[in-house]
Amino acid sequence: MRRIVPLLCALLLCGALVAPAAARPPPRDVSGFAGGLGGDSLDYPASTVTNVTVDVAVHANATSTWTERATLTNPDTADALRANDTLRRAVATGRFAHRFGRDTDALHARVRGDALTVTYRLDGGVARAPGGGLVFAPFADYRNDYRPGDADVTIRAPDGYRVVDHPDAMAVADDGATLRWNASTGAGDAGVSPGLVTLAPANAVLSGARADLAVLATYGLPSFGVGVAYALLFGLPLGVVGSGTVALAGARRVRVVSVGFACAALVGLGAAVASYPATGSVVAGALHPFFLTLLALPLALAATALGVGLHAVARWRA
């Protein structure tokens, strides 16, 4: 029995660590022009694209304006979209009406020469906290990693704001007022997940704390939720085993109860800290496979049964 208890506890902890590590979908290009135009239900000449740019203006009122531009390599495609307003709107709607899990507003498309430019407003994806700190996180609610692909992405801070923190794949420019992101910027993988960018008023006192407060206000509660889920699925069974072990050793009831709750609380606290900031992509990766795995639930049930058995033996011996 003494050998089984630590072995099962170790397996349960391994289950807690392995469960979130499900295979993620492949990275997704950030631009709506990825893959070129054509291949949909609309009748127009297909075209590949080059010189793709994505320009994002972040606003202090927690919205953002996006301008995506691409050069159409097929002149017939440019001519068709230029001549037919209805077709151009339909193409833009199919590609850009829903971005990063949100519907867009103020969608507009125009053709100048061989370039198609689409602008839209994205409400959500930017959060503002007391103190003026901002979190720019349109990529955070999707399980995929995002990557720039062939696009050159520029993220512009609101007037009077500066970038405080950003993914390593992005590079700061213009004295902190701009971020650049393409296949050659930054360090390591060009993809980002969750890709949080924090901003604060320029020259503000404790600008870093203002930005951290924005992240806490946005993702503190989801992180707490992840901790609660881990405490229930893994912490409680571990607590039953731990409290049963000390009960079998003859500990007093108060200590037995304290050990059980402490185990559950520590597992929950560890999961909350490890998952913070629990963006949508983090929550999806931590909880979705976690409840479907063939490993976690059986281990939790086995640990619970063992713990109940330990308590039963302790009471019988008493």
Token pair of 59 as six digits:
């606003």
pLDDT, tens digit, 9 for 90 and up, residues 243-302: 888 887 877 888 878 888 898 999 999 988 888 887 765 665 655 555 545 567 777 778
Q: What percent of the chain has pLDDT over 90?
A: 37
pLDDT at site 253:
80
One domain for residues 189 and 222 = no
Token pair of 159 as six digits:
């007037």
- pLDDT above 80 (res 83): yes
Q: How far apart are CA 210 and CA 131, in angstroms?
A: 6
Token pair of 209 as six digits:
């704390």
- Residue 88 confidence class, pLDDT cut points 50, 70, 90: very high
Residue 199 placed within a domain: yes
Q: In this structure, are strands 161-165 and 63-72 parallel, antiparallel, or unpaired?
A: unpaired
One domain for residues 219 and 109 = no
Most confident of 59-68, 125-134, 164-173, 269-278: 59-68
Which of 204, 229, 248 is the last residue before a domain boundary? 204
- pLDDT above 50 (res 22): no
pLDDT, tens digit, 9 for 90 and up, residues 160-210: 999 999 988 889 999 999 999 998 886 555 566 567 899 999 887 888 888
- pLDDT above 70 (res 7): no
> How would you class 4 by CB atoms within 10 Å of its CB: exposed for 0-12, middle for 13-18, buried for 19 or more?
exposed
One domain for residues 79 and 167 = yes
One domain for residues 50 and 10 = no
One domain for residues 180 and 69 = yes
Residue 197 placed within a domain: yes
pLDDT at site 269:
92
Residue 270 placed within a domain: yes
Residue 222 placed within a domain: yes
Q: In this structure, are strands 152-156 and 49-58 parallel, antiparallel, or unpaired?
A: parallel
Cβ contacts of residue 30 below 8 Å, gap of 6+?
Answer: 54, 139, 146, 147, 148, 149, 151, 153, 181
How does the average pLDDT of the chain come out, rounded? Answer: 83
When divided into structural domains, the chain yields a total of 2
- Residue 17 confidence class, pLDDT cut points 50, 70, 90: very low
- pLDDT above 80 (res 82): yes
User: Coil, helix or strand for 116?
Assistant: strand
Q: Range of 127's domain?
A: 28-204
- pLDDT above 70 (res 105): yes
List the alpha helices (DSSP H) in 150-279: 207-230, 236-248, 253-275
Is pLDDT larger for residue 119 or for residue 245?
119
Q: How far apart are CA 78 and CA 41, in angstroms?
A: 18
- pLDDT above 60 (res 55): yes
Residue 209 placed within a domain: no
Cβ contacts of residue 163 below 8 Å, gap of 6+?
Answer: 157, 172, 176, 177, 178, 179, 197, 198, 199
Adjacent-strand bridge partners of 134:
128, 199
Q: In this structure, are strands 197-201 and 134-136 parallel, antiparallel, or unpaired?
A: antiparallel
Angle at alpha carbon of residue 83, lines to 78 and 84, rounded to 5°: 105
One domain for residues 224 and 249 = yes
Residue 39 placed within a domain: yes
Token pair of 107 as six digits:
């969608």
Q: Which CATH number do you get for residue 91? A: 2.60.40
